[in-house]
Chain A
Amino acid sequence: MTDPAPDAFRRDLVTLVPRLRRFALSLAGNRQDADDLVQAACEKALKNAAQFVPGTRMDSWMYRIVQTLWLDDRRRRAVRGTAVEPETAGLSDEGRAASLPEDRLMLARVRAAMAELPEAQRAVLALVAIEGLSYREAAETLEVPVGTVMSRLSRAREALLPKLGLSHGARQ
């Protein structure tokens, strides 16, 4: 029986894992759910490896799998809110290094604000602002038109910026 996931595919997948964990963390809001999500996405990817067209963007393919699994899970669990960890969690040094109180406050606000965004807006914002995809790459990943990406981004930022203590009138 041929292995549907050849070695090169597997090695490429491993190199994507840090980014997938970061994307999953921005969607799920806590480390445990994020890693469970990435675990499930990798299992699904290995099972469906034959459907991946070699030479195409594996990162887009994997981001899509993560996002789809996350939405499925949200609907299944009918989760009202996202479990957000305390502000020190998620920082690589668990917040112990000398980071200014205002920095820690900003990061806590960011995480809380992301958790309040509707899923579609959160996913687009994560792909563009955190994962660094272009509008077109994000559109292909989510299988929506570019215009949809732009309008979701715009709504996400309208909701997010005021919660970060930004855009509250004159700043000079």
Chain B
Amino acid sequence: MTRHTTMDKTRLAAFVDGELSPEEAAAVVIHLADHPEDQAWVDDLAAANAALARAYSAPMHEPVPPAIRDTILPPASPGTGAAGAAPVLPFRRRVLASARAGWSAAAVAALAAAAAGVALLAPVAPVPGPGAGATATLAVGAVAEGTPLAAALSGLRSGEARTLDGGQTLTVLATMPVAGGHCREVEIDDAAAGVLGRALACTRGAGWTVTVAISEVAATPDAEGVFAPAGGGAAADLGPWLDRMGAGLALGAADEAAAIARGWR
């Protein structure tokens, strides 16, 4: 039971809830000035209202979950996870064109078809930086929780990019299911250092591990005297590693969004 009040609690509650007319509210204010026990109850009620609002406020600061949004506004573009929407190119996976401007899907296709023509250079020595794994060559191994890299791997959709601590741009290219989890193919572009990296990061739902990382000197189409990959296009093809892991077809947008929403579990 709450404390005793002189004025009827229904009226005091209506006052706190903003239900009284200005005249009625003024009368309550005058009453409260002379009745501290009633003022204390009003204060308690206001505190309870505030605590209630705070206790459940989280959804107000969050974006609409993808599953709910897609239910209300179904994505209209064709080939998003629909069965039978086969990619035009006969790849096992749907690979986005390299994030690097100017390199077309055709160049990627040519490169993948002529894998022998790719010049794989030795990985560039990692540049020390504040965030773990934030180098053009991703360090192979576990990705520390809470780093920008971990957040990017967990949250980005295919095609989205984020700048990491060292100024490199990370772009997620595709998500593939593998036995027990998922692998995401990413591209790391360190324009300042002129290095392009490509990597696979995999998860079973509890953190990410970079399983393979390759980086190479980034060729610009009109650079001279720069050792350029034969296809003149994007970075290395990670097909052999995906084969080894038994990777399946790249996830469509809806399935990928669902995996992101459930934290890759």
Interface class of chain A by DSSP = helix
Kindly provide the distance from the CB of A79 to the nearest chain B CB, expressed in whole angstroms. Answer: 19
Query: Which residues in chain A, 49-74, are within 8 Å of chain B measured between CB atoms?
Result: none
Query: Which residues in chain A, 23-81, are within 8 Å of chain B measured between CB atoms?
Result: 25-26, 31, 34-35, 38-39, 42-43, 46
Judging by beta carbons under 8 Å apart, are A166 and B68 in contact? Answer: no
Judging by beta carbons under 8 Å apart, are B10 and A42 in contact? Answer: no
Known: A21-B59, A135-B19, A154-B10. A166 touches B48 (CB 8 A): yes
B67 contacts chain A at the CB level, 8 A cutoff: yes
Interface class of chain B by DSSP = helix
Distance, CA A91 to CA B51, complexed state (A): 12
Query: Which residues in chain B, 1-26, are within 8 Å of chain A measured between CB atoms?
Result: 1-3, 9-10, 13-14, 17-19
Contacts of B43 in A (CB 8 A): 171
Judging by beta carbons under 8 Å apart, are A18 and B56 in contact? Answer: no
Kindly provide the distance from the CB of B47 to the nearest chain A CB, expressed in whole angstroms. Answer: 6
Identity of the chain A residue whose Cβ is nearest the Cβ of B9 in the assembled complex: A154
Judging by beta carbons under 8 Å apart, are A19 and B68 in contact? Answer: no
Identity of the chain B residue whose Cβ is nearest the Cβ of A5 in the assembled complex: B72
Known: A35-B65, A42-B71, A130-B53. A25 touches B1 (CB 8 A): no
B44 contacts chain A at the CB level, 8 A cutoff: yes
Which of B45, B54, B72 contacts A161, CB < 8 Å? B45
Identity of the chain B residue whose Cβ is nearest the Cβ of A162 in the assembled complex: B2
B125 contacts chain A at the CB level, 8 A cutoff: no
Kindly provide the distance from the CB of A86 to the nearest chain B CB, expressed in whole angstroms. Answer: 13
B120 contacts chain A at the CB level, 8 A cutoff: no
B49 contacts chain A at the CB level, 8 A cutoff: yes
Contacts of B40 in A (CB 8 A): 170-172
Judging by beta carbons under 8 Å apart, are B13 and A129 in contact? Answer: no
Identity of the chain A residue whose Cβ is nearest the Cβ of B73 in the assembled complex: A10
Judging by beta carbons under 8 Å apart, are A107 and B55 in contact? Answer: yes
Known: A166-B48, A167-B44. A92 touches B17 (CB 8 A): no
Judging by beta carbons under 8 Å apart, are B51 and A107 in contact? Answer: yes
Q: How large is the interface on A (under 10, 10 to 19, 20 to 34, 35 or more residues)?
A: 35 or more
Which of B18, B47, B68 contacts A39, CB < 8 Å? B68
Judging by beta carbons under 8 Å apart, are A129 and B68 in contact? Answer: no
Q: How large is the interface on B (under 10, 10 to 19, 20 to 34, 35 or more residues)?
A: 35 or more
Which of A42, A111, A167 contacts B68, CB < 8 Å? A42
Judging by beta carbons under 8 Å apart, are B51 and A14 in contact? Answer: no
Contacts of A158 in B (CB 8 A): 1-2
Kindly provide the distance from the CB of A99 to the nearest chain B CB, expressed in whole angstroms. Answer: 9
Known: A25-B58, A125-B52, A164-B48. A46 touches B2 (CB 8 A): no
A169 contacts chain B at the CB level, 8 A cutoff: yes
Contacts of B44 in A (CB 8 A): 161, 166-167, 171
Which of B17, B41, B58, B60 contacts A19, CB < 8 Å? B60
Distance, CA A65 to CA B19, complexed state (A): 25
Known: A92-B62, A129-B53, A135-B19. A161 touches B68 (CB 8 A): no
Contacts of A161 in B (CB 8 A): 2, 44-45, 48
Sampled A-B contacts (29; CB under 8 Å):
A19-B60, A21-B59, A21-B62, A22-B58, A26-B55, A35-B68, A39-B67, A39-B68, A39-B71, A92-B58, A110-B54, A128-B17, A129-B49, A129-B53, A130-B52, A130-B56, A134-B17, A134-B18, A135-B17, A150-B14, A153-B13, A154-B9, A157-B2, A157-B13, A158-B2, A161-B48, A164-B48, A166-B48, A167-B2
10 residue pairs, one from A and one from B, having the closest CB atoms? A21-B59, A167-B2, A166-B44, A110-B55, A92-B58, A22-B59, A26-B56, A92-B61, A17-B64, A129-B49
Further pairs besides A39-B67, A90-B56, A166-B44: 13, Cβ < 8 Å: A17-B68, A18-B62, A22-B56, A22-B58, A26-B52, A110-B51, A129-B48, A130-B56, A135-B17, A161-B44, A171-B40, A171-B43, A171-B44
